[in-house]
Chain A
Amino acid sequence: MSATPVAGEINRKTTRRVSDIRADPGSFRDPRGRIFHAGEKVYRTVTESGAEDYEFVRDSGLIERLQGDARVIASTAVAKDVLGEHSAGARYVLEHPRLPFISYPYEWPFPALKVAALHHLDIHLAALAAGVTLSDASAYNIQFLGVQPVFIDLLSFRRYREGEMWSGHRQFCEQFLNPLLLRAKLGVAHNAWYRGAQEGITTGELHRMLPWTKKLSRNMLLHVVAQSAFQRSAVPSGQSKLAMEFQFPLQKYQRMLTKMRDWIDSLEPAGTGKTVWQD
């Protein structure tokens, strides 16, 4: 993984124009930037709408620290003209090293999904300590370099706003927690289901599958039973602003992430008895 230049510095050595540039077909939902491939090179644009958050996060030093530990994919700022006409609308262009192998959460075994979940939470906790947060909790933002997880989406980092909630909690549950619980509580591997439902396993579905005897712990009660029940309950529309105006204390936010981390760290796969391949 290449070293990161000083924050904001543009690496002129890599600014040659590249032909045969194509946008990554899976990179279209984020208005703050897009991934492009040019031969063996991988570029990320940062648009005007993502520039302010990008600059804040870059200047915080967080990314540099996480890249130094190889916990976040390396990036080098390059001149915009490297992408030619594809740089239209971009404020910045970054170059990433190409990952040797791309894999997806529905392909990972239980231990890899668990490591990825812990990595995501560790990154989020480190971010909050630096006044930064993550805008989502997509499991597809984690890749593996060998057995080491690496966070690949720089544009998921944005400035933390005092009092905000964990906006990615539902997504984290669906893409990390619930698939892990499926195996830990029921002995069912997540892979086949996840492959057919690539946004993850909803909490409502998990809630309906689990027997009541599996729901009696504090964590199961909160993150599965209560979340599922509240999701299905009606709130008068005139009162929704009450929830939106609530200030979630940062300390509680960090405690929620830490407790989630402790819980996931304790999960082990069930149903791992002898198979036909064993004596």
Chain B
Amino acid sequence: MSSALTSVVFALALDLSRPAFAYLDPGTGSIILQLLLGGLTGGAVVAKLYWHKLKGFFVRDASGGGNQPKDDAPGE
């Protein structure tokens, strides 16, 4: 894995470390990790799954509320 992708994983991991109350299944963490290890295609799937969080991490709006899910998140 490139250092750039490792950085994105780390950033995602930091940003996703808040408690949540919905799960794919008991192995969600393992499945998403394997998506990332699966190469560019898997990384793209993760990016789509977490598009709203990624967008919030990289594009903070002026009001400071940029980490909230957006209505235009793809696939919803």
Are A239 and B32 CB-contacts (below 8 A) given A169-B27, A170-B27, A249-B39? Answer: no
Is the beta-carbon distance between A239 and B22 smaller than 8 angstroms?
no
Judge whether A228 is part of the interface by a CB distance below 8 angstroms: yes
Q: How many residues does chain A have at the interface if contact means C-beta atoms less than 8 Å apart?
A: 36
A230 proximal to B (CB < 8 A): yes
The complex places the Cα of A169 from the Cα of B34 at a distance, in Å, of 9
Cross-chain contact B1 with A232 (CB below 8 angstroms)? no
Among A12-20, A35-43, A119-127, A240-248, the stretch that binds chain B is A240-248
CA distance A221 to B8 in the complex (A): 11
Cβ A239 vs Cβ B75 within 8 A: yes
Given A169-B27, A236-B75: A222 and B49 interface contact (C-beta under 8 Å): no
Which of these, B19, B24, B38, B53, contacts A240 with CB under 8 Å?
B24
Structural contact, B76 and A236, CB atoms closer than 8 A: yes
In the assembled complex, the CB of A132 is this many whole angstroms from the nearest CB of chain B, namely 19
Q: In terms of DSSP, what is the predominant structure of the interface of chain A?
A: helix
Whether A165 and B31, one on each chain, are in contact in the complex, defined by CB atoms closer than 8 angstroms, is yes
Chain A, residues 164-175, CB within 8 Å of chain B (1/0): the string is 011101100100
Q: Is A134 an interface residue (CB 8 A)?
A: no
When the two chains form the complex, which single residue of B18, B21, B33 contacts A230, counting CB atoms closer than 8 Å? B33
Q: Given A236-B75, A239-B48, A256-B37, A221 and B20 touching (CB < 8 A)?
A: no
Q: Is B57 positioned at the interface, with any CB of A under 8 Å from its CB?
A: no
Known: A239-B49, A243-B35, A243-B45. A170 touches B29 (CB 8 A): yes
Contact partners of B38 in chain A: CB under 8 A: 246-249, 252
Set of chain B residues within 8 Å of A261, measured between Cβ atoms = none
Would B17 and A232 count as touching, CB distance under 8 A? yes
Residue B6 CB within 8 A of the other chain = yes
Contact partner of B49 (CB less than 8 A), chosen from A166, A228, A242, A249, is A242
Closest-CB distance, A74 to chain B (whole angstroms): 32
B42 touches A246 (CB 8 A): yes
Which of B34, B36, B76 is the one whose CB lies under 8 Å from A166? Answer: B34
* Contacts from B to A (Cβ < 8 Å): 1, 6, 9-10, 12-14, 16-24, 26-39, 41-42, 45, 48-50, 53, 73, 75-76
Q: Kindly list the 3 A-B residue pairs having the minimum CB-CB distance in the complex, ordered from nearest.
A: A231-B29, A234-B20, A233-B16
- Other 6 A-B pairs with CB < 8 A, given A246-B35, A255-B37: A218-B6, A229-B12, A230-B13, A235-B23, A239-B76, A243-B32
A: residues with CB less than 8 A from B are 165-167, 169-170, 173, 203, 218, 221-223, 225-240, 242-243, 246-249, 252, 255-256
A-B contact pairs, 13 of them (CB 8 A): A173-B30, A218-B6, A226-B9, A226-B29, A229-B12, A231-B29, A233-B32, A235-B28, A235-B32, A235-B50, A239-B49, A239-B75, A242-B45
